[in-house]
C-alpha cells in the first residue's frame, strides 16, 4: 500500500507545483488577479478587439440587447451580467450548479440570477472564484462594438487582452445609454429619505448603497437591515455578520454589496428617472471597476 | 462461501456503507452527462473520489474505536486494525486524487482558474478542505515514512480528528452533489457524525470508561533474553476470556513504576488459560514500548481492556487441529494448550502443534509443551528449526501427521510466514475457510 501512497503523493505534489510554477511564469496577469482584481474592466465604449482599439471592422458586431437575445440556447449562450456580456456556451457543462440552472437565462440579463442564485449553502452568491472564472468568458460591454474572428462564431476572440487596459475607477457613475437623468447629491439628508423597505439606502464606510432590491435576499432576514435604512450602517454591517461566522460579513457579502453601490457620501450622481430602481436596471454599469470583489 | 461472508461480515458491511453514497451519486445524473466532455469527466472523477474518500474516512474512525462488537463482526480486533490501515490508505489516496481531478478540470477552463482554485484561499468552504488535506498528508507521512515510536505515532494519529472535522465542513459547505441532494447530504452527515462520535468515544470518553478491569502486577518473569512474562492479579472483577485472545493494557501513571510510556494502551497476548488465577501476558521485548516493561515493579496497577480476538480452538468445528506457530506467534497456542490440559472437556481435541523457530535458543516454553504432550496423548508437539531444516512447508507438516483427514489449521506468526503456508495448504487442496490465522501486527 505504501507504494500506492508514494505514487499518489508524488502525483499530487507534481500537479500542485506544476500549477503553481505555470502560474508564476505567467504572473503578470495572474498575480494581479490573485491580489484582488478578478474581473477585467473595460472602459465604456472602448472597442475591444484581438489586439487593440484599432481594428479591421469587417466582422464587427454591436453587442446590443437584440444581438444578446439571439444567443439564448445551450448551443450559444450569452449572458448579460452587470452590463457585461459573457459567452458561457463552453462553460454550461462545467457549471457546478448544473447547466439547467443557466440555460433559462441565456440571451437575457442574468445579473440578478447570477447574484442571488449562487450555491445554496453559501449565502446565495457566487464566489469570487466564480466571478474571476466568468471573466474568461467575457466578450464585451453592452452596446459596445467588437470584432469577431469569424463571422457568426459565438466564441469571440476578444476577451482577456483587455484586462491589461485597466482604467482607473471612475468617481462619478455614468450610464452608457443616455437615459432620463437627474443629478442628486448624496448628502446625509438625502440618505435619510431612503429609510423604508420601499427605498432603503445604507451608508457603509463612506459609501452609499441602495439595497432595496436586496432586502428580501438577505440571508439574515430583511428585518435585520430595515432599522438601519437611511442611516450610517457601518458598525452594524461590520459586527452583525452571520452568527456562525466571526460576526462579520464575508468577502462574498462584500462583493455582493458592490452591486448595490450608488456613490460616495456627498458625491453627485446621475440617477435614473424616479420610479425606476437603479439596482435592477440591466444597463447599470459596475460603477467602481472590479474592486468590489476585493477580498 | 457463506462462511467467508460470515467471517468477513464487518468488512463487507463497511465497504457497502462506503459505496452507498457513490450509488446515490450514480443515480443523480446519468453517466453520459457526467462524462460528456473532458472537463465534466474530470469533475465527475473529482466528485466520486471525494465522496468515496470521505465516506471511507468517516467509517475508518468507527473501526479505530475498538468497539466490542467490531471484534465479533470482523472475527478479531486485530483484523479490524488491519482493515483500518488498508481503508485509511485507500481513503488517503482517493482524497489526494480529489483535488487533482478538479485542478485538471479547472485547468481545462484556463490556467488562471486552476491557480485560483488551488491558491486563492478566498473561499472558506474550499479552505477547510485544503487545510484538512494538508493535515492528512502530514499525519500520513508520519505514519508511513517516519518511524516514530509507537506511543508518539499514536499521539500524532489522534489529530486525524481535525481532518474529519474540517473535511466534513468542506464536504457540506462546498457546492456539489452533496449540497444539491438532501438524501446524500444526510447520509454523509450521519457517517461523519458516527465517525466523530467514535473519535470522541476513543480519545476523550475512553479515559473515563468503566468497562476496564483493574489488575495489579504480581511479578515480571524473564522467559529468555527477549521474552518476558507479566503475571497479574485482579483487584476485584476478573476478566473472562477465551484461550488465544488478547487484551489491551495500560499502566496507571500514578503508581511508582508506571511511567509515561507504559501509560499508553498497548495490546498483549494472553498466555494463561481462562481458569488460571493469574492473568499472564507474554511479550517479546523488541519495540520501545515492550522493552520498558523491564522497568515495571511488582505492585504496579494497570487497566485491562478486552478480551479481543477470535483465534481460538473452540471456534473451530473440527476436533482435529493443526497449530503452526512461527516464533513469538506461539503465545496464543500456549494459552490454548494450557486450557486443553486443564479442562477435562477439551481432552478429546487432537492437536498437532508445530513450533517453528530458528534454533533451540529461540524456543520458549518448550519444556511446558513437552510436558503437556506427555500428560495428554492427544496433544503432539513438533519442533522445527529453520536454521538446520530450511523453511517449513505444508508438505512437511502433512508428512508428520498421522492423519490429515478433516483437520483444521491454525497459523500464527509473521505475516509472510502465514501467507506462504496458507497458499501452500490451499494449493494442496485445503479449503481456505478451514485455515485460521492470527495477524498480530496492531502497530503499523
| pLDDT tens per residue across span A12-26 | 999 999 988 888 887
Q: Does B355 touch chain A (CB under 8 A)?
A: no
* Cell reading at A272: 435614473
Q: How far apart are CA B52 and CA B60, in angstroms?
A: 12
Question: Does B441 have pLDDT greater than 70?
Answer: no
pLDDT at res. A111: 83
Question: Strands B227-234 and B246-251, how do they pair?
Answer: unpaired
User: Which runs of consecutive H residues, i.e. helices, occur in chain A?
Assistant: 2-25, 27-34, 65-70, 111-116, 128-134, 188-193, 234-239, 251-257
Q: What is the pLDDT of residues B54-86, one digit of tens each?
A: 999 999 999 988 887 887 888 777 788 888 989
**Could you tell me which of B103, B116, B33 has the C-alpha nearest to residue A92?**
B33
State the best of B30, B36, B40, B93 to mutate against chain A, taking most chain A CBs within 10 Å. B93
Give residue for cell 460470515.
Answer: B6
Residues 152-211 on A with a CB inside 8 Å of B are none
User: With contact defined as beta carbons under 8 Å apart, do B334 and B368 qualify?
Assistant: yes
Q: How far apart are CA B321 and CA B351, in angstroms?
A: 5
- pLDDT grade for A220, boundaries at 50, 70 and 90: low
Task: Name residue A201's beta-bridge partners.
Answer: A210
Q: Which residues of B touch A22 (CB under 8 A)?
A: 111, 115
State the best of A26, A29, A93, A245 to mutate against chain B, taking most chain B CBs within 10 Å. A93
User: With contact defined as beta carbons under 8 Å apart, do A47 and A146 qualify?
Assistant: yes
- pLDDT grade for A50, boundaries at 50, 70 and 90: very low
Q: How far apart are CA A246 and CA B1, in angstroms?
A: 56
Of the candidates B106, B118, B173, the beta carbon closest to that of A121 is on B173
pLDDT at res. A273: 46
User: Which runs of consecutive H residues, i.e. helices, occur in B204-253?
Assistant: none
Question: Does A132 have pLDDT greater than 50?
Answer: yes
The CA distances from residue B245 to B227, B280, B305, B307, B315, in Å, are 18, 12, 12, 6, 12
Q: What is the pLDDT of residues B160-186, one digit of tens each?
A: 999 999 999 999 888 777 777 888 889
Mean of pLDDT values over B379-400 = 89
Residue A205 φ/ψ region, left for φ over 0, alpha for ψ in the -120 to 50 degree band, beta for the rest: left
pLDDT at res. A206: 83
pLDDT at res. B420: 92
Q: Does A227 touch chain B (CB under 8 A)?
A: no
Contacts of B88 (CB under 8 A, 6+ apart): B56, B57, B60, B140
How large is the ipTM?
0.70
Q: Does B255 touch chain A (CB under 8 A)?
A: no
State the best of A28, A125, A127, A255 to mutate against chain B, taking most chain B CBs within 10 Å. A127
Contacts of A253 (CB under 8 A, 6+ apart): A123, A125, A241
Mean of pLDDT values over A122-126 = 58
Task: Name residue A48's beta-bridge partners.
Answer: A146
* Cell reading at A155: 466564441
Q: Which residues of B touch A16 (CB under 8 A)?
A: 103, 118
Amino acid at each position: 500500500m505504501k507504494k500506492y501512497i508514494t505514487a499518489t503523493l508524488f502525483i499530487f505534489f507534481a500537479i500542485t507545483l506544476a500549477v503553481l510554477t505555470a502560474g508564476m511564469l505567467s504572473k503578470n496577469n495572474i498575480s494581479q488577479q490573485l491580489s484582488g482584481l478578478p474581473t477585467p474592466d473595460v472602459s465604456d465604449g472602448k472597442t475591444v478587439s484581438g489586439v487593440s482599439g484599432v481594428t479591421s471592422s469587417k466582422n464587427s458586431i454591436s453587442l446590443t440587447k437584440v444581438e444578446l437575445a439571439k444567443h439564448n440556447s445551450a448551443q450559444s449562450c450569452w449572458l448579460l451580467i452587470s452590463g457585461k456580456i459573457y459567452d458561457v456556451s463552453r462553460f454550461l457543462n462545467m457549471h457546478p450548479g448544473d447547466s439547467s440552472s443557466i440555460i433559462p437565462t441565456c440571451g437575457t440579463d442574468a445579473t440578478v440570477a447570477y447574484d442571488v442564485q449562487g450555491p445554496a449553502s453559501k449565502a446565495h452568491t457566487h464566489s469570487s472564484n466564480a466571478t474571476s472564472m466568468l471573466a474568461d468568458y467575457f466578450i464585451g460591454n453592452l452596446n459596445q462594438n467588437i470584432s469577431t474572428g469569424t463571422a457568426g462564431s459565438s466564441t469571440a476572440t476578444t476577451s482577456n487582452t483587455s484586462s491589461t487596459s485597466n482604467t482607473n475607477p471612475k468617481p462619478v457613475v455614468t450610464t452608457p445609454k443616455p437615459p432620463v437623468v437627474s443629478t442628486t447629491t448624496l448628502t446625509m439628508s438625502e440618505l435619510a429619505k431612503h429609510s423604508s423597505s420601499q427605498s432603503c439606502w445604507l451608508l457603509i464606510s463612506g459609501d452609499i448603497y441602495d439595497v432595496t432590491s436586496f432586502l428580501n435576499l438577505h440571508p439574515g432576514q430583511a428585518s435585520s437591515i430595515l432599522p438601519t435604512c437611511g442611516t450610517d450602517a457601518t458598525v452594524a454591517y461590520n459586527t452583525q455578520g452571520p452568527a456562525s461566522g466571526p460576526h462579520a460579513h464575508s468577502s462574498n457579502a462584500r462583493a455582493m454589496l458592490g452591486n448595490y453601490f450608488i456613490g460616495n457620501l456627498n458625491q453627485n450622481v446621475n440617477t435614473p428617472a424616479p420610479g425606476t430602481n437603479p439596482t435592477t436596471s440591466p444597463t447599470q454599469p459596475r460603477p467602481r471597476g472590479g474592486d468590489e470583489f476585493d477580498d | 462461501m457463506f462462511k467467508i461472508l460470515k467471517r468477513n461480515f464487518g468488512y463487507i458491511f463497511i465497504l457497502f456503507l462506503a459505496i452507498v453514497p457513490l450509488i446515490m451519486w450514480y443515480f443523480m445524473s446519468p453517466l453520459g452527462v457526467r462524462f460528456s466532455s473532458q472537463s465534466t469527466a474530470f469533475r465527475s472523477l473529482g466528485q466520486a473520489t471525494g465522496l468515496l474518500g470521505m465516506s471511507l474516512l468517516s467509517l475508518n474512525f468507527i473501526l479505530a474505536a475498538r468497539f466490542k462488537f467490531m471484534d465479533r463482526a470482523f472475527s478479531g480486533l486485530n483484523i479490524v486494525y488491519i482493515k483500518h490501515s488498508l481503508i485509511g490508505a485507500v481513503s488517503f489516496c482517493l482524497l489526494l486524487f480529489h483535488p487533482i481531478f478538479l485542478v485538471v478540470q479547472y485547468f481545462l477552463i484556463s490556467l488562471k482558474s486552476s491557480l485560483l482554485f488551488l491558491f486563492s484561499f478566498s473561499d472558506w468552504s474550499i479552505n477547510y478542505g485544503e487545510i484538512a488535506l494538508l493535515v492528512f498528508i502530514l499525519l500520513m507521512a508520519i505514519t508511513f515514512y517516519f518511524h516514530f515510536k509507537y506511543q508518539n505515532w499514536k499521539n500524532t494519529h489522534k489529530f486525524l480528528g481535525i481532518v474529519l472535522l474540517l473535511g466534513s465542513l468542506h464536504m457540506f459547505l462546498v457546492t456539489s452533489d452533496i449540497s444539491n441532494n438532501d438524501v446524500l447530504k444526510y447520509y454523509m452527515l450521519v457517517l461523519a457524525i458516527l465517525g466523530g462520535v467514535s473519535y470522541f468515544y476513543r480519545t476523550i470518553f475512553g479515559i473515563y470508561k468503566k468497562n476496564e478491569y483493574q489488575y495489579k502486577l504480581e511479578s515480571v518473569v524473564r522467559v529468555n533474553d527477549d521474552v518476558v512474562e507479566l503475571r497479574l492479579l485482579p483487584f476485584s472483577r476478573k476478566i473472562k476470556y477465551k484461550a488465544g485472545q488478547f487484551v489491551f493494557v495500560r499502566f496507571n501513571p500514578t503508581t511508582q513504576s508506571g511511567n509515561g510510556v507504559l501509560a499508553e494502551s498497548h495490546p498483549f497476548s494472553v498466555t494463561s488459560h481462562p481458569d488460571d488465577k493469574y492473568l499472564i501476558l507474554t511479550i517479546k521485548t523488541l519495540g520501545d514500548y515492550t522493552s520498558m516493561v523491564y522497568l515495571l515493579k511488582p505492585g504496579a496497577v494497570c487497566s485491562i481492556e478486552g478480551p479481543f480476538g477470535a483465534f481460538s480452538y473452540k471456534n473451530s468445528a473440527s476436533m482435529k487441529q493443526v497449530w503452526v506457530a512461527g516464533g513469538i506467534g506461539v503465545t496464543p497456542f500456549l494459552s490454548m494448550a494450557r486450557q486443553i490440559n486443564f479442562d477435562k472437556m477439551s481432552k478429546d481435541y487432537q492437536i498437532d502443534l508445530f513450533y517453528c523457530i530458528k534454533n533451540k535458543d529461540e524456543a520458549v516454553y518448550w519444556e511446558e509443551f513437552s510436558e503437556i504432550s506427555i500428560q495428554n496423548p492427544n496433544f503432539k508437539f513438533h519442533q522445527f528449526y529453520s536454521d538446520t531444516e530450511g523453511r517449513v512447508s505444508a508438505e512437511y507438516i502433512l508428512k508428520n501427521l498421522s492423519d490429515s483427514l478433516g483437520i483444521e489449521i491454525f497459523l500464527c506468526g509473521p505475516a509472510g510466514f502465514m501467507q506462504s503456508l496458507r497458499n501452500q495448504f490451499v494449493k494442496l487442496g485445503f479449503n481456505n475457510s478451514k485455515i485460521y490465522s492470527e495477524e498480530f501486527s496492531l502497530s503499523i
